[in-house]
Structure 1
Amino acid sequence: MAYQGGAVQGTVAAGFEGVQDEFAAALGEMNASPEAQLVVHVDGRRVVDLWSGDGTEPDTLMNVFSISKGAAHLVVALLVQDGVLDLDREVSSYWPEFGAHGKDRLTLRELLAHRSGVPGADGGFTDEEIADDRVVAARLAAQRPFWEPGSAYGYHAFVIGALTGEVVRRVTGRSIQQIFEERIRAPYGLDLYLGLPEELEPRRAGTLPHLPTPEEAARLAARKLDPNSILAVAGNQNGPHKTELVDFANNPTVRALGPASSGGVGTARGVAGMYSAAIGEVDGRAQLLKPETITEFARPQFHGTDVITGNEDVFGLGFEELTALFRPLGPEAFGHSGATGSLGFADPGAGLAYAYTRRRFGFPSRYGAGPENHKLIAAVYRALQAN
């Protein structure tokens, strides 16, 4: 069914009309258009394909921030599945330099679960450094950890992909970006890039800042961040070059290099296509991940307080464990959110792949999925049950 009502355009399959209504309602509740895309696949078939906002089309490329982590760690999952990487082997056995300052016993499993103790570096990174995974990895190999490695969980917002990517590089001789391109993006024709080709730049739409209400502006002005705190370290706010997320996304060096933690660029079609390929047959190709690999990577590795943010959280191996946050999801669902409020995931039990991308930041979202995802996901699962 084709749909064009107000600012919302696109198509939905019969029975999924409620999703289009919820998408339109979610956009209408916001004080500024989020310029968003929503795509859902069921058993490899696209059943929802919606978009909205000035200058936004279904093939408009957006910075997807930490959705990039899902793409990068799909590569790691494939390498574990192939027997190339061992989750319970020490990182330092692959990457000897990383063992400095007591990091030698940290396993790859613990690294993927954000337990390394090095979510950032003393003095922070410059804009050029934070965009380059190899530079980040070299700095963090020599970094003294901020907590005993393996003893606690803290979200490595800007650096986890550099750390896991260096393990991949040491074992395969290839970057995580190259393997993603060769094994996942190119074979499936996905509009999702860890390193945006220059010729695709005209299709990219810049990331937009949140437009706060007066009340939100007052709350933002009252916030103070201790530059010596672990939160400042993880957010790269602890040095002379404090990373601002809008500027980070709109930096052409970031887009070109595609840092695996947060530098990906894509569409909701691309994100949903990736998760659909991960859990099911697409165009005659077998699903990328075997059921036992999905079980391993989706299984919660940590449930408790994030020592960086102070928030309660649940994390799998490289992917967010989403069932605690989004109740309709099955126990083996896996995926990752992005800083603007975006979200991508697969739910193997339902045969479902979901992708919601936004150009504009919400409030107070800095890292996690936007609250509108709750209603959108609920509408998707109601449609599944009804059909």
Structure 2
Amino acid sequence: MIDPRFAAVADLLDRFVEEDPAYAGQLCVYLDGAPVLDLAVGQDHAPQAGGFGADDEPPALRREALTGVFSCSKGAGAVVMGLLVQDGVLDLDARVAEYWPEYAAAGKEATTVRQALSHQAGALGVPGGFSLAEYNESERAAAQLAAAPPAWRPGITHAYHGLTIGVLMEELVRRTTGESLQQVYEDRVRSPYGIDFYLGLPEAEEFRYRNVLKPAAAPLPFIDPFGYTGLAFNSTGVFEREDGTAGELLDLPNHRAVRAGGHSSAGGVANARGLARLYAVTSTGVVDDAGSRTEPLFSAETTRLMTEDQVFGADRASGELTAFGIGFMKPAPQNSFGSVWAYGHNGANGSFGWADPAYGLAFGYVPLRGEDNGNLSRNGILGAAVRQARLAATVPRA
């Protein structure tokens, strides 16, 4: 569906297909709780196992199709953390060790929840990395992380905890609720609001899953396995493919075990509709079948606590200028996805979900083939076009 006010954004998607016949992507945008764009374009011309089946090759990337969304999963995890803050179960200024006593080791005794959930904890990983099984059963990874020294004195700098922030979130949820983060997300967020974004894809939904494909042109960038970024992305560990060969980060959601486990750093499975709806549910509420809009899942105070900037500056690992709230990315110069009130998270394959509650927007984009992130990427170009269309739309705000 295309709201005429956002037709120029739909034209951009068509242009992507004209420029690259192998392109396939999904885009969904909500405005004030109602969808104004919900599109899927392009085809996948590469034969692959799984997905919709050999008799449907080459399949169109339907709006209902699901694929891996990598670190967009952190946004879903952050929603759960926000609910625990809203409930009074989790205090951002408490020490992590108050909930998780084993964490008070090797220089991490004073680390706060706020630091841990805004990439300031220095808990990037452990020597030798983690196995895929340890990420899928993250209490095992959490025990190792609790015993390990931080990469810096917590709170003095920040660097993207690419995979371990999910371990931190999941262990805090276990320690405060007795349940898994995935179960809380399912019971309180995904299922009640019909969100097509899973942290733990049920077997019954497997027929909708499409394998993430590698970028068509450039190889993945080299990461020094011994450096800060290497530690954050488990480069000294081995993610095995299902055939036993060494895998890469973009392989992760193509493992059924990863999709089923739904690790909140990188194991989520969604479509663009699911990403946009998650952010609409938290920020504006969504319009139901009767035409009424639900209350936002986050209160105004929770939104402030979770989405105000905690850190901004050069990432200790990459050197890039980045900004984070509690679990959520915030706009930064190379990734300027909205106003100062915007929050969201992108993924390693170029997927992105965000909300800008000041302007009533919620955005979801998912490509089938791996892409870049940033202002000049497809998700950046589309996001800018959405904001321009919103600026031009003369819609009274409720």
**TM-score normalised over the length of structure 1:** 0.90
**What is the deviation of 1:240?**
4.9
Counterpart of 2:254 in structure 1 is 250
Alignment of 1:33 with 2:22, yes or no, is yes
Counterpart of 2:328 in structure 1 is 319
Identity of aligned residues (%): 41
Which of 269, 275, 279 is the matching residue for 2:279?
A: 275
**What is the deviation of 1:249?**
1.6
Q: Helix, strand or coil: the match of 2:106? A: helix
CA distance in 2, matches of 1:343, 1:277: 16
Return 132-141 or 191-200, whichever deviates more: 132-141
Q: Aligned pair in 2 of structure 1 residues 89, 123: CA closer, same or farther (>3 Å)?
A: same
Pairing 1:102-117 to 2, within 5 Å after superposition: 102-117=107-122
Q: Is the 8 A contact 2:321 2:332 kept in 1?
A: no
Q: Is the 8 A contact 1:133 1:260 kept in 2?
A: no
Alignment of 1:90 with 2:95, yes or no, is yes
Q: Is the 8 A contact 2:334 2:375 kept in 1?
A: no
Pairing 1:204-223 to 2, within 5 Å after superposition: 204-212=209-217, 216=218
Q: Aligned pair in 2 of structure 1 residues 339, 277: CA closer, same or farther (>3 Å)?
A: same
Counterpart of 1:156 in structure 2 is 161
Counterpart of 2:390 in structure 1 is 384
Q: Is the 8 A contact 2:313 2:322 kept in 1?
A: yes
AA matched with 1:154: A
**TM-score normalised over the length of structure 2:** 0.87
CA distance in 2, matches of 1:46, 1:182: 24
CA distance in 1, matches of 2:12, 2:146: 46
Q: Helix, strand or coil: the match of 1:110? A: helix
CA distance in 2, matches of 1:47, 1:224: 39
Q: Is the 8 A contact 2:282 2:298 kept in 1?
A: yes
CA distance in 2, matches of 1:81, 1:210: 40
**What is the deviation of 1:325?**
4.4
Counterpart of 1:361 in structure 2 is 370
AA matched with 2:232: A
**What is the deviation of 1:34?**
3.7
Q: Aligned pair in 2 of structure 1 residues 330, 187: CA closer, same or farther (>3 Å)?
A: same
Pairing 1:120-159 to 2, within 5 Å after superposition: 120-159=125-164
Q: Helix, strand or coil: the match of 1:102? A: coil
Q: Aligned pair in 2 of structure 1 residues 226, 40: CA closer, same or farther (>3 Å)?
A: closer
- Give the length in aligned residue pairs: 366
Alignment of 1:235 with 2:233, yes or no, is yes
CA distance in 2, matches of 1:46, 1:386: 17
Q: Helix, strand or coil: the match of 1:101? A: coil
Deviations 1:73-117 (A, max 9, x none): 111011101111100000001000111101110000001111111
Counterpart of 2:381 in structure 1 is 375
Counterpart of 1:265 in structure 2 is 269
Unmatched 5+ residue regions in structure 2? 44-58, 240-245, 394-398
Which of 348, 355, 365 is the matching residue for 1:346?
A: 355
Counterpart of 2:37 in structure 1 is 48
Unmatched 5+ residue regions in structure 1? 1-10
**What is the deviation of 1:344?**
0.3
Q: Is the 8 A contact 1:236 1:243 kept in 2?
A: no
Moved over 6 A (4+): 367-370
Q: Is the 8 A contact 1:337 1:369 kept in 2?
A: no
Pairing 1:56-71 to 2, within 5 Å after superposition: 56-71=61-76
Pairing 1:153-192 to 2, within 5 Å after superposition: 153-192=158-197
CA distance in 1, matches of 2:118, 2:17: 34
Q: Is the 8 A contact 2:250 2:349 kept in 1?
A: no
